[in-house]
A and B are shown apart, each in its own frame.
Chain A
């Protein structure tokens, strides 16, 4: 790893800095060859991005004046440790009225302690705070006489038709 933060001239890393790129399994990117695929040496795990690489991309985004994009990459770097299924579960738990405040706070704790993901934990705690204020926690449905509006995500704009 270079000590100085990367700048725009270092992009694209796949061409200018392949030596900086490793898979999460520790293989250099140059090891991702057809021979290695055919011999069964590579698994799907080898075709993932490593947290260190996301940090490099965050530096590039920062140097290009895109702090939000950099923050996204840093959350992503933390998330590389979380298994696919749990990422999906956590996403679903963040949907409106899907979780109680206690559930969201427990999820934030898990992010912080199990996955060393403080930036994501902060995002979830912020969501818990806003959901509480905007009545979007799972508890909030209990004291409403109207039928559960969270079950049917209403009308019209079908995700699959948004081309």
Chain B
């Protein structure tokens, strides 16, 4: 959104200070008044339903003021699949203030909170989180996020859909610490080549990184089944029936899809976020957060392990209304208090102001979430095909400095130039060799050289797009799978990369990555909410940034030596 000129309609004289303020980037952002009747309101609306629940014969017959006969499909699905029928009446009867205190009180364990939250209706959840200010939301998030160790996720895309750029920026991103890498396309037909590039580049940077390619649902599943991608995330769900149907899905089709992924051993999460319903024109007069809570409960009912939320591609909408960024922090918390993995936004760009961009991510960075960003741009924003991210490659050093200043782990680390150049070259060489093995359009030595030192897609020689698209089609026609990638890399002498990729593929057979909040360490140890369950219970407990990891995060591009102030630490 962009603000509308002119500001000074009367033509009267403006102060010099006003002129300065008018020029500040924040005034390029869009802000609107609330309009609760249309759902243009973050989380405080008189039009949201009041909590209620009634169970008869083991079945929910009334929820949030609606009788079963009047349930829309979201109500039906939530009542029949998400709510714990045995506890829902007792949980909803608890005072909301008591539940809110349980959430933010470190003396109450995560599992004690879950025993209550699994019975809450959407309106009751809203009633609870409405009582919490942003610091209480963060305090609760610190305890309620599912995985003990926080992580981060990146986008690796290219404005020219250049597979080579995607591969080398994936390699650098993985080396810097991202646990998951995601790509998408400008020209969708490029997808097979770009998805292969992401997979190869990721495994060069750090073995065990998981990759995905955001596409229309059926195509995304197809690439996953072939073993070219490792997880899926862009499985969108919506908080009103009408918008869900506009998205050409229902809770049942999405539930079937969730099981389809699991049936192939592929990790997946749904995506939702505040503002999507009002942006798509049918919020049915409900607040953004109420509708998002319905999405979260639907995801839980589907049995999907996790959710990407935090407004995501609609961040401009909550960002424009009062309390909107608080509501976004609350929606992340609700995903976590429903025991789902939360990839917590800080994704699509939403502000011209560097201060606002930073403030927007603090409620996720400070307490830690399963993935602080569900798309930090590991390419310059001009190359980000997800319409830009709140943070990009230009911000790497700032991010690392903030981690060091506040002693918090945002999943990244500073890496020295020679190491970065080495993995970029290696990723480029590996992709070059693999394309040759698979008889795909050649990558020249000049391209490899450019890729090693490049910043953006402008720094690469142009590729023959028609030849690439023919090659991409051939990948699909020939039925190339992840195993062919392993074989090609091995034959080309990239044994360690091939071995890394095979290890990722082998994970499918074990299903370990299907459990809540699962990622792979560099040693291919699955880390999930089962073996790395969040055990925060107050000061001195839970995940602490200390030891070897803290030593890593003390490193920055320029740190003066204590013993020799003339030099910098290396």
**How many Å lie between the Cα of A50 and that of B263 in the bound state?**
8
CB <8 Å contact, A14 and B526: yes
CB <8 Å contact, B250 and A14: no
Task: Report chain B residues within 8 Å CB of A72.
Answer: 255, 258-259, 262, 302-304
Q: With A21-B510, A69-B303, A72-B303 in contact, do A48 and B234 touch (Cβ < 8 Å)?
A: no
CB <8 Å contact, A88 and B259: no
- A13: Cβ under 8 A from any B Cβ: yes
- B457: Cβ under 8 A from any A Cβ: no
Which B296-317 residues have C-beta < 8 A from chain A?
300-305, 308, 312-314
CB <8 Å contact, A153 and B526: no
CB <8 Å contact, B525 and A12: yes
Which one of B227, B259, B300, B506 lies within 8 Å of A76 (CB-CB)? B259
Q: Mark B428-453, 1 if CB is under 8 A from A, else 0.
A: 00000000000000000000000000
- Output the least CB separation between A131 and chain B (Å): 7
Q: In chain B, what residue has the closest Cβ to A61? A: B515
- Output the least CB separation between B227 and chain A (Å): 6
CB <8 Å contact, B215 and A150: no
Among listed B350-358, B478-486, B537-545, B556-564, interface-contacting one: B478-486
**How many Å lie between the Cα of A163 and that of B303 in the bound state?**
21
- B327: Cβ under 8 A from any A Cβ: no
CB <8 Å contact, A157 and B241: no
Q: With A34-B498, A157-B236, A160-B216 in contact, do A11 and B515 touch (Cβ < 8 Å)?
A: yes
Which A9-32 residues have C-beta < 8 A from chain B?
11-15, 18, 21-23, 29, 32
Task: Report chain A residues within 8 Å CB of B234.
Answer: 159-160, 162-163
Task: Report chain A residues within 8 Å CB of B210.
Answer: none
- B347: Cβ under 8 A from any A Cβ: yes
Q: In chain A, what residue has the closest Cβ to B523? A: A15
**How many Å lie between the Cα of A38 and that of B481 in the bound state?**
14
Task: Report chain A residues within 8 Å CB of B482.
Answer: 44, 47
Q: In chain B, what residue has the closest Cβ to A64? A: B530
**Max chain A CB contacts within 10 Å: which of B259, B487, B529?**
B259
- Output the least CB separation between A104 and chain B (Å): 10
- B184: Cβ under 8 A from any A Cβ: yes
Task: Report chain A residues within 8 Å CB of B130.
Answer: none
Among listed B48-56, B217-225, B283-291, interface-contacting one: B217-225
- For the residues of B in contact with A, the DSSP-based class is helix
Q: With A72-B262, A159-B234 in contact, do A44 and B509 touch (Cβ < 8 Å)?
A: no
Task: Report chain A residues within 8 Å CB of B236.
Answer: 157, 159, 162
- B73: Cβ under 8 A from any A Cβ: yes
**How many Å lie between the Cα of A163 and that of B214 in the bound state?**
7
**How many Å lie between the Cα of A139 and that of B245 in the bound state?**
16
CB <8 Å contact, B279 and A14: no
**How many Å lie between the Cα of A14 and that of B520 in the bound state?**
12
Q: In chain A, what residue has the closest Cβ to B388? A: A163
**How many Å lie between the Cα of A13 and that of B199 in the bound state?**
24
Task: Report chain B residues within 8 Å CB of A156.
Answer: 276, 279-281
Task: Report chain A residues within 8 Å CB of B389.
Answer: 163
CB <8 Å contact, A163 and B246: no
CB <8 Å contact, A56 and B511: yes
Q: With A14-B512, A21-B509, A57-B515 in contact, do A120 and B259 touch (Cβ < 8 Å)?
A: yes
**How many Å lie between the Cα of A73 and that of B264 in the bound state?**
11
CB <8 Å contact, B81 and A68: yes
**How many Å lie between the Cα of A84 and that of B222 in the bound state?**
8
Q: Mark B357-394, 1 if CB is under 8 A from A, else 0.
A: 00000000000000000110000000000110100000
**How many Å lie between the Cα of A82 and that of B252 in the bound state?**
18
CB <8 Å contact, B260 and A34: no
Q: In chain B, what residue has the closest Cβ to A88? A: B218
Task: Report chain A residues within 8 Å CB of B515.
Answer: 11, 57, 60-61, 64, 69
Task: Report chain A residues within 8 Å CB of B169.
Answer: none
**How many Å lie between the Cα of A29 and that of B431 in the bound state?**
28
Task: Report chain B residues within 8 Å CB of A163.
Answer: 155, 182, 184, 214, 234, 312-313, 347-348, 374-375, 386-387, 389
- B249: Cβ under 8 A from any A Cβ: yes
**How many Å lie between the Cα of A37 and that of B256 in the bound state?**
32
Task: Report chain B residues within 8 Å CB of A138.
Answer: none
**How many Å lie between the Cα of A153 and that of B557 in the bound state?**
48
- Output the least CB separation between B280 and chain A (Å): 5
Which B38-60 residues have C-beta < 8 A from chain A?
none
- B499: Cβ under 8 A from any A Cβ: yes
- B103: Cβ under 8 A from any A Cβ: no
Q: In chain B, what residue has the closest Cβ to A56? A: B511
Q: With A37-B483, A60-B530, A157-B236 in contact, do A69 and B305 touch (Cβ < 8 Å)?
A: yes
CB <8 Å contact, A38 and B487: yes
CB <8 Å contact, A159 and B215: yes
**How many Å lie between the Cα of A64 and that of B506 in the bound state?**
24
- Output the least CB separation between A124 and chain B (Å): 7
Which B457-501 residues have C-beta < 8 A from chain A?
481-483, 486-487, 490-491, 495, 498-499
- B114: Cβ under 8 A from any A Cβ: yes
Task: Report chain B residues within 8 Å CB of A82.
Answer: 263
Task: Report chain A residues within 8 Å CB of B182.
Answer: 163
Which A25-80 residues have C-beta < 8 A from chain B?
29, 32, 34, 37-38, 42-44, 46-50, 53-54, 56-57, 60-61, 64-66, 68-73, 75-80
CB <8 Å contact, B280 and A154: yes
Q: In chain B, what residue has the closest Cβ to A54? A: B511
- Output the least CB separation between A9 and chain B (Å): 9
Which one of B73, B80, B528 lies within 8 Å of A11 (CB-CB)? B528
Which one of A11, A12, A80 lies within 8 Å of B263 (CB-CB)? A80
Q: With A32-B506, A70-B303 in contact, do A48 and B264 touch (Cβ < 8 Å)?
A: yes
CB <8 Å contact, B506 and A79: no
Task: Report chain A residues within 8 Å CB of B499.
Answer: 34
**How many Å lie between the Cα of A96 and that of B251 in the bound state?**
10
Task: Report chain A residues within 8 Å CB of B244.
Answer: 96
Q: Could you jot down 15 A-B contacts, CB within 8 Å? A: A11-B526, A11-B530, A14-B512, A32-B506, A34-B486, A43-B483, A48-B264, A49-B509, A53-B511, A57-B512, A69-B515, A76-B261, A78-B263, A161-B386, A163-B313
> Told that A42-B483, A49-B263 touch, could you supply 9 new A-B pairs with CB distance under 8 A?
A14-B510, A18-B510, A32-B502, A47-B509, A49-B264, A53-B510, A87-B221, A91-B260, A160-B214
Q: A residues touching B (Cβ–Cβ < 8 Å)? A: 8, 11-15, 18, 21-23, 29, 32, 34, 37-38, 42-44, 46-50, 53-54, 56-57, 60-61, 64-66, 68-73, 75-80, 82, 84, 87-88, 90-92, 94-96, 120, 123-124, 126-127, 130-131, 134, 136, 150, 153-163
**Nearest 4 interchain pairs by C-beta:** A72-B303, A163-B386, A76-B262, A49-B265
